[in-house]
Amino acid sequence: MLSPAFAEGAPSRGRQDFRACAPCHSLRPDRNMTGPSLAGVWGRKAGSLPSFERYSDALKSSGIIWDDRSLDGWLTDPQAMVPENDMPFEGIKDSHARADLLAFLKEATKPGAQQQTAQQRGMKGMGGMGGGMMGGMMGGGHDPNLKGLEPAKQVKAIAYCHDTYRVTTADGKTRAFWERNLRFMTDSSQDGPEKGAPAIMPAGMMGDRAAVIFADPEEIAGLIAKHC
């Protein structure tokens, strides 16, 4: 049985709450961003949207079917529900806020819903946040020396497939990034990386973005292999 808080969820309030989700999730079918499209999510098996290729193994093997109850649990605490999933989101502890968001999403993600309009409404009002967020994301202070970094920040290979880059570092780990979340930069200064040893540095406020920094622009195309 649904909790009273969920039953009383207000889509109009949930539309405002969706502003926090809109930078990473689209409501348009198969329009994937950092995370998968939410269109048609009710009744869908977790980790199963064919057009999205960056699901964690933990989520793909969870066996969850998204419905009112499972989505409420996910929004409460994703890591508690599916340990080791890749979603950089701590959850919404306020049950009324979750109820509002779910009420909005249930309407906005139905087949035939006005997904693009809903997405635009969800993003409305974020323009005023842009300067502050960009300042927080880019930060200030002294740039780190990119020579002699630990293996986790030394790039060994980059593969590109569809809309995803997979970056393998010297510690043997590979991480997937949505193509708009990975930047390619150069640093030819004395603090820049050695030639042939690009560095990867975290960026953004949620851990889903990064920059690969090369010593020379000619190295960029030579390192990226296009294969699936």
- pLDDT tens for each residue of 185-197: 999 988 899 999 9
Residue 184 bridge partners (DSSP): 212
Question: H or E segment at 80?
Answer: helix 78-81
**What pLDDT was estimated at residue 143?**
63
The token pair that represents 64 in the structure block = 């969850």
For the whole prediction, is pTM greater than 0.85? no
pLDDT given for residue 141 in this prediction: 41
Question: Domain ranges in the chain?
Answer: 4-137, 151-226
Q: Strand 174-178 to strand 164-169: parallel, antiparallel, or no bridges (unpaired)? A: antiparallel
Give the tens place of pLDDT for each residue, 196-206: 999 999 987 77
CA distance 7 to 165: 41
Top-level CATH class of 4-137? mainly alpha
Pull the structure tokens for residue 81: 């529900």
Q: What is the pLDDT of residue 114?
A: 58
Q: What stretches of the chain adopt beta strand conformation (E)?
A: 155-161, 164-169, 174-178, 182-186, 199-203, 209-214, 224-226
pLDDT for the residue numbered 113: 72
DSSP 82: S
pLDDT beneath 70: ranges in the chain: 1-7, 114-143
**What's the pLDDT at 128?**
38
Give yes or no for a contact between 108 and 85, defined as CB atoms under 8 angstroms apart. no
